[in-house]
A and B are shown apart, each in its own frame.
Chain A
Amino acid sequence: MPEMLVLKDIRKSYTMGDTRLQVLKGIDLTIEEGELVSIMGSSGSGKSTLLNIIGILDQYDSGEYRLDNTLIKNLSETKAAIYRNKLLGFVFQSFNLISFKSALENVALPLYYQKVSRRKRNQLAMEYLEKVGLGDRADHLPSELSGGQKQRVAIARALIAQPKIILADEPTGALDSKTSYEVMDLLKEVNNSGMTVIIVTHEHDIAEMTNRIIHLRDGLIERDVRPDRFISA
């Protein structure tokens, strides 16, 4: 499988008041196309920072990051926005749907920034909503949806631009276990269709559902595990 994502010696530090906090101390990581990966670690391990760098939401201090063979380094905001739009789909713990837009409009939004015509993007948005089982909720506002439904809308939104990678930051963090498993099933389904999925989580049962678990600790990769049962499966 071709390499989708290559990180070489990524370092990142934050300045907090007078102290300089080294969050990532040299991350080397390669993820291939079609992988379903989870990143685990306790709070402060640097997993959110790593996800932000992978998601081009934040910059790194040194090292090299290639996404789909494109070097992602010191991009302007405009360039970063274009890459995010084309290459990445985000799923957040707090859903991050726009509150005054209906489910359909939320799903269609990435296509608006690709200048897709309104009719076309609403049609596609409807297809993706149906894919996540919410065709009948298209006109509902986020406030009228349950947590699980909101996350499914967010997943539909992440998928609609057909990105290379889905980045999910604690996608089940705000959901009960039953709904969590439904969301995970959906993400696995997405992965089965060939898309690379990276999930940041601190829940072991969620991580166990992925094909590869990367453990972060104090800004370094502690363990990179591929459970045997998936390999044999």
Chain B
Amino acid sequence: MFDIDKWQEIFATIQKNKLRTFLTAFSVAWGIFMMIVLLGFGEGLTNGVKYQFRDDAVNSIWISSGTMSLPYKGLLPGRRVQFTNEDFDWISRTSGTENVSARNWVGGDFVVSYKGEYGKFDIRAVNPDYQFIENINMVEGHFMNAYDQQQRRKTAVIGRKVEEALFKGKNPIGEIININNINFQVVGIFEDIGGEGENEIIYIPLSTAQIAFNSVNKINQLMFTVGDATVEESKVLADKMQAEMARRHQFDPSDERAVFVRNNYEHFNRFLKITQAITSFVWVIGLMTIIAGVVGVSNIMMIVVKERTREFGIRKALGATPMSIVGLILQESIFITSAAGYTGLVLGVLLLDVVGKAVAANAPDFTYFLNPRVDLSVALSAVLILVVAGAVAGLAPSLRAANIRPIEALRDE
């Protein structure tokens, strides 16, 4: 394959036929370039959608209480639904639920202090599983555990911002902070990718909060993940929650304002389906572009062979075998298409990089389009397909050219 003379023949031909070479190379490079750019944009959109759901576990269902809007069994509307620990226990027992937690907002104007530093932070009382429902990343220490919950221990998990505000660089693990005159021991620091506000939070065990801040067995909100359940199963589970809450709290099951069940999984899936549709659409366009490129290459190959019939006739008269003619055409075609395909690939990737960085730099809030990238193996296989297609497209005319009798080729004035 590596025959330096053959390469010199090819480079000489390329050099002497610049326009033809350019046209072939352009149609290939353009096809690959468009395909890379389209796929990259599709990927950027998908990343953007995923980013919108980055805060909470995508397979979570959230139940919030509201006010009854319909009369039920002689009871008047306007009553508020109040969840209790029993609701939590029931959800925990229900099959299909994975991580289950309740959540209470504690106080409002509680001052949090540590050795002369003061601050006001959002204080949330939750269960240990909450870590997995909210996508909380522990930076140091650990989240509260079942033992903390069971023993109603006064442990606190603080956000990054809280640490910065109160501890000024000191290691907070094991230190005692004061929340509304009650001492809590810091056991962990977390970081939540959900945004700045999500990091100005202190989590304490729900059982501790119910005693310490006098909320007895009341619960504001319930949430759980559905594990490996399908979207359909998660919908069934969400409907079941609605019905059961209606039964437990005595309201009309069709009352949409008494309890709000938000199925993240269903939402996520809907968006995912949209991006999947976009991705497949982009693939179709990309493949069409590639096909256009292949057609372009085959066209040019046919013209090239026609144009060079006389030259091949001369070569054959001088002793070129048919195989050497086919080899010459194919090697030239493969060389041009791969070089051009690679160029298109590099340019496409470069453009995606520039666009991605420009979006990130100029519009950091525009999160619906993130990291437009393309899978390198996909890009390389696209180039390979084009190269092979170009070779196959060139094969038929080159075989015909190689088998034409030199006398006919030379007569072709």
Contact = CB atoms under 8 A, between A and B. Distances in A.
Partners in one complex: yes
Interface of A: 52, 55, 57-58, 77-78, 81-82, 84-86, 90, 92, 94, 96-101, 105, 109-110, 112-114, 118, 157, 161
Interface stretch (B85-93, B107-115, B210-218, B319-327): B319-327
Interface in B364-413: 402-403, 405-407, 410, 413
Contacts, number: 70
Interface in B1-39: 4-5, 8-9, 12-13, 16-17
A155 to B, nearest CB: 13
A114 B314 contact: no
B322 A81 contact: yes
A96 B410 CA distance: 8
Interface string B302-345: 00000000110111111111111000000000000000000000
Contacts of B317: 55, 57, 84, 90, 96
B326 to A, nearest CB: 11
A78 B319 contact: no
Contacts of A101: 12, 16
Given A96-B314, A98-B311, A100-B16, A113 B320 contact: yes
B9 A112 contact: yes
A58 B410 CA distance: 12
Interface string B229-262: 0000000000000000000000000000000000
A55 B402 CA distance: 18
A58 B319 contact: no
Contacts of A77: 316, 321-322, 402-403
A81 B407 contact: no
Contacts of B323: 78
A105 B315 CA distance: 12
A100 B17 contact: yes
Contacts of A113: 315, 318-321, 324
Contacts of A100: 12-13, 16-17
A128 B17 CA distance: 28
A90 B318 contact: yes
Interface residues on B, range: 20 to 34
A157 B317 CA distance: 11
B156 to A, nearest CB: 81
Contacts of A110: 318-319
A114 B319 contact: yes
B314 A81 contact: no
Contacts of B316: 77, 81, 84
10 contacts: A52-B407, A78-B322, A78-B323, A81-B319, A84-B316, A85-B319, A98-B315, A112-B9, A113-B318, A157-B318
Interface in B199-223: none
A22 to B, nearest CB: 18
Given A100-B16, A112-B9, A118-B5, A57 B406 contact: yes
A55 B226 CA distance: 84
A24 to B, nearest CB: 14
Given A92-B410, A94-B413, A58 B318 contact: no
**Most chain A CB neighbours (cut-off 10 Å) among B12, B16, B320:** B320
B9 to A, nearest CB: 7
Given A94-B413, A100-B13, A118-B5, A85 B407 contact: no
A113 B312 CA distance: 13
Nearest to B322: A77
Interface string B161-174: 00000000000000
Given A58-B405, A100-B13, A85 B318 contact: yes
B318 A84 contact: yes
Q: Please give me the 7 A-B residue pairs with the lowest Cβ-Cβ distance, nearest first.
A: A85-B319, A100-B16, A113-B319, A57-B407, A81-B321, A78-B321, A110-B318
A161 B318 CA distance: 9
A84 to B, nearest CB: 5
Given A94-B413, A98-B311, A86 B319 contact: yes
Contacts of B5: 112, 118
B321 A161 contact: no
Contacts of B4: 118
A192 to B, nearest CB: 24
B402 to A, nearest CB: 8
A14 B300 CA distance: 33
B319 A161 contact: yes
Given A77-B403, A96-B410, A109 B318 contact: yes
A114 B318 CA distance: 10
Contacts of A157: 318
B104 to A, nearest CB: 84
A105 B405 CA distance: 23
A100 B10 CA distance: 12
Nearest to A96: B314
B314 A98 contact: yes
A82 B314 contact: no
Given A100-B16, A100-B17, A118 B8 contact: yes
Nearest to B6: A112
